Structure 1
């Protein structure tokens, strides 16, 4: 047992007389807890001091979805989670958490540098500042959902292209400040992107698709629903460069 594991289990003492704590190795209890959801983990944390240590161990919090608690999630909750999980956290969904803003996301980015999947769908307080934080601290980010984050602009795409070059999926639906300049920056920096959702990005035109054609050969999915400035010329250019394209939505174009 290494020093870290030993320190984790020092809270267990002879006074912890519960049969389960006597019979099962603490490593096995920790493994069992790793299969529990957020609510159950929080309940287990209230059973005893020993279980509190195990239930709140960062290794149990690698994947968190807070959608069911969206009305209760404030910035400080996200900050506390990030401090608890640290480098363990790989996936976080804050979909619908309207109270979460840039300050808490900056703390999150600083603490959770191994995040790979982040869902901020409907977090309308989010601005370019959050993407700047992600760019600075979260280089392993692969999937980012910014649906309806209407304050996000081309500055965000420039930041992501600089610091999040492993990005494979980006959802910018209804981020109507995005223009061809933002798409150009994204395409140049994140040329491994596979899925791009641009529904309702009404300022995008054929020029944006030309940048994707030049720089994003791995693109397999693109949704441009209601991008009313897109024409046949743009689609022809896109198809000339994106030979792996499998899913194309131009509804409302």
Structure 2
């Protein structure tokens, strides 16, 4: 056994197993283990550092220790093999390293630059389908233009927290990304209905959209989404305080594929929105209505009576809905698929009512 696994170039495992099988075994290892294997012997070094083993790399655990030269070396080593690279929180990586990376890794499909604050663009990755530049505060219109020019096949784009992104950026996205299915714009204070309308017109296949904490968004955005994005499945608009029943009713009437809606702190909506959702969105699984203080027992009754909710609704958050009483919980007993319900600060809901719901 010692001779078989000694790790030396003449060990039994190296002589008995073909290179292809050893490469297959090593392909299941993570980055750290591969690096350790590379130090065992010359033959294992070659096998462990073979580009075919480095198709998916996540450097999140290293964060601040990763410098640009590491990314450059990875790109040279992996070349066309690399499909997915995660650089979340690697704040020392700059544009120069990514430019070299883009030149060497033309087949990259998923690139996560979340929190790489020195990044301004990701130009040149033609095969890239999913890109996250969340919390990259230096990304602005030139950076978005670089992404549009160099990454023509983007289907998922996360711009969460990119504070310099504006409506012009969204217009570029709408003009070029007709296949876009996922877009996150959370906490981008500058965008307005104009930008969201441009995206909805240009991206009819959109399935997931996050606009939470975008205070300038109004019903005009929801009306545009309702008219142009019928495949929408996930909509997050938490703390968009200007949205009302008008926008949500239009959305419910036209987007019948909705599965998750986060409406937290959309304080203008009433039972009318909940009623329309119960009628027109039979696939709804997650509904967040926390801090929607105008929702009453009647709205929850209509939701619970909907055929989709009775079987499909799994998560319902109703924190700080002061008009709800134990009667709402009686209605929810019809929802057999309900797995989680939140009722913090619902002052008229009693422990007895919660206990009956659990039973």
- The TM-score with structure 2 as length reference comes to 0.63
The yes-or-no answer on 1:223 pairing with 2:210 is: yes
Distance, in Å, in 1 between the alignment partners of 2:95 and 2:178 is 27
8 Å contact kept, 1:161–1:188? no
Residue 80 in structure 1 maps to residue 67 in structure 2: no
* Counterparts of 2:184 and 2:97, CA distance in 1: 26
Deviations 1:97-147 (A, max 9, x none): 1111111111111111111100000101111xx33xx2xx31111000011
Is the Cα–Cα contact under 8 Å of residues 145 and 172 in structure 1 kept in the other structure?
A: yes
| Structure 2 match to 1:234 | 221
> Could you say which residue in structure 2 is the equivalent of 1:11?
none
Query: Deviations along 1:169-212, whole A, 9 cap, x unmatched?
Result: 10101111111111011111111100000001111100112112
The CA RMSD measured in Å over matched residues stands at: 1.1
Larger Cα-atom Rg: 2
SS in 1 for 2:73: helix
1:138 pairs with one of 125, 143, 146: 125
Give runs of ≥4 in structure 1 deviating > 3 Å.
none
CA contact (8 A) 1:198 1:223 kept: yes
Whole-angstrom CA distance in 1 between matches of 2:234 and 2:49: 41
182, 191, 195: which one aligns with 1:204: 191
Q: Distance in 2 between matches of 1:162 and 1:43?
A: 39
Which residue is equivalent to 2:21? 28
The alignment partner of 1:175 has SS state of coil
Counterpart for residue 40 of structure 1 = 33
Maintained 8 Å contact 1:150/1:174:
yes
Shift of 1:160: 2.2
Q: CA deviation at 1:215?
A: 1.0
Per the TM alignment, residue 157 of structure 1 is displaced from its structure 2 partner at its CA by 2.0
Give me the whole-angstrom Cα distance separating, in 1, the residues matched to 2:102 and 2:27: 23
Q: Which has the higher contact order (CA 8 A, sep 6+)?
A: 1
Q: Is the 8 A contact 2:208 2:235 kept in 1?
A: yes
Between stretches 155-164 and 101-110, larger displacement belongs to: 155-164
1:148 partnered with 2:141: no
- Inter-partner Cα distance in structure 1 for 2:64 and 2:161: 22
TM-score by length of 1: 0.89
Q: Does 1:91 align with 2:84?
A: yes
Q: In the alignment, is the contact (CA less than 8 A) between 2:9 and 2:42 conserved in 1?
A: no
Q: 2:110 aligns with which of 108, 117, 139?
A: 117
Contact 1:85 1:112 in 2 (8 A): yes
Q: Which secondary structure does the structure 1 equivalent of 2:64 belong to? A: coil
Q: Which runs of 5+ in 2 are unaligned?
A: 1-7, 241-359
Taking the aligned partners of 1:17 and 1:209, their CA distance within structure 2 comes to 63
Residue of structure 1 equivalent to 2:12: 19
